[in-house]
Amino acid sequence: MSSSPSYKAAIDTLTPLAQGFTMPAEWQPHRATWLVWPHNQNDWPGKLVSVTWAYGELIRHLAPHETVVVVFASPEEESSALWQLRQIGVDINKIERVECSTNRSWIRDTGGTFIKKEGLQSNSSEVALVDWGFNGWGKYSDWVLDNKLPENLARVKGYRRFLPSHPQQGRPVVLEGGSIDVNGQGVGLTTEQCLLDNRVQPRNPVLGLTDLEEVLTDYLGLDNIIWLGGGIAGDDTHGHVDDVARFVGPNTVAIATETNQADINYLPLRENLERLEVAKTKAGHLTVVPIPMPQPLYFDGQRLPASYLNFYLANEVVLVPTFNDQADRVALGVFEELFPDHQVVGIHAVDLVLGLGSVHCLTLQEPQD
């Protein structure tokens, strides 16, 4: 991977909060969307080729609205991908390409978190990158290359890099991007199952709720954390919030709901809804918008984490996973009402979700500086 000659490898020791950085909301302007071209056969058994075409659809709908940066494992992979993108009408001159080895393609969780400091003048803002520790969601053993991805991204683009730490823990704080969602005004969403339950998939065994809130304050600028209970069945990340609830406005949250009382998701999603209905921000109670769950999807007897909440909000376009389900049209209609100034596009995600993730998991926004 090439590097910027102006980049210095030293990690910034002052916290982002102390320097005026915060995490913008996803609807705030992007410079780019980052993706890692799919290459791990184990994530999509027998479906990797069709998944690459699904990536092409993501890029085709993103490219007219913002820069798309694609991480490739090799020149050969890049050449093959660019051929595919040409076939579906993508202007590849608008695609930035980075060569870097990774274990998987879930850049939302492995690429770190972009943060931004607003300057006093319009041309004096700055974008930086929070480099969380990554341990394969506490489940997989092949994660070393993914753990290095934020450092490589910061190097190639010349961004300052922050390595989160806490005095209670002698190693970097482990956190994935899919486990948090923010409104850009200091409020965050996360789940207890993901960040606090270390019995099943350990991330930060010595850190409790207060410790993690301190970290999220120091590194993302959050001063109000809304804790939901858990995630959905089939989510092998153990409770990521981007499958269950997302900010769609400063004081509005869209939430997944299940009406079938016999479904395993019914009780956890109802509890999350109840928590949101009593949650408060500085602006008062949240406006909560329910979005139905699709019918259960299975592969080889395993429940897949199909959810419309795994959408991605880009400049002027909202990409929503669809599942050949009767609820697809309902979900798309809700998003059209929530984002009247955006084009709402359904992305066929039946093959994507075979990898136990979807549209949001595969994308990472870089704010406009």
Q: Report how far residue 209's alpha carbon sits from residue 151's, in angstroms, rounded to the nearest whole number.
A: 27
Alpha-carbon torsion 21, 147, 102, 178, what sign? Answer: negative
Q: Mapping DSSP to helix (H, G, I), strand (E, B) and coil, where does residue 339 land?
A: coil
Residues 16, 328 contacting (CB under 8 angstroms): no
DSSP string, 152-216: HHHHHHT--EE---BTTBSSPPB--GGG-EE-SSSEEEEEHHHHT-TTTS-S-TT--HHHHHHHH
Residue 258 token pair: 């299940």
Q: Report how far residue 181's alpha carbon sits from residue 189's, in angstroms, rounded to the nearest whole number.
A: 5
One-letter amino acid of 196: L
Half-sphere exposure of 196 (CA within 13 A, CB side): 15
Cβ neighbours of residue 27 under 8 Å, at least 6 residues apart? 184, 248, 249, 313
Which residues are paired to 317 by β-bridges? 314, 343
Which 3-state string (H, E, C) describes 48-85? HHHHHHHHHHHHHHHCCCCEEEEEECCHHHHHHHHHHH
Q: Report how far residue 285's alpha carbon sits from residue 295's, in angstroms, rounded to the nearest whole number.
A: 31
Active-site residue, from 245, 293, 361, 364: 361
One-letter amino acid of 309: L
- In this structure, the number of other CB atoms found within 10 A of the CB of residue 322 comes to 21
Residue 338 token pair: 């929530």
Residues 314, 62 contacting (CB under 8 angstroms): yes
Residues 17, 219 contacting (CB under 8 angstroms): yes
Q: Is 194 a catalytic residue?
A: no
Q: Report how far residue 8's alpha carbon sits from residue 159's, in angstroms, rounded to the nearest whole number.
A: 9
State the catalytic residues: 361
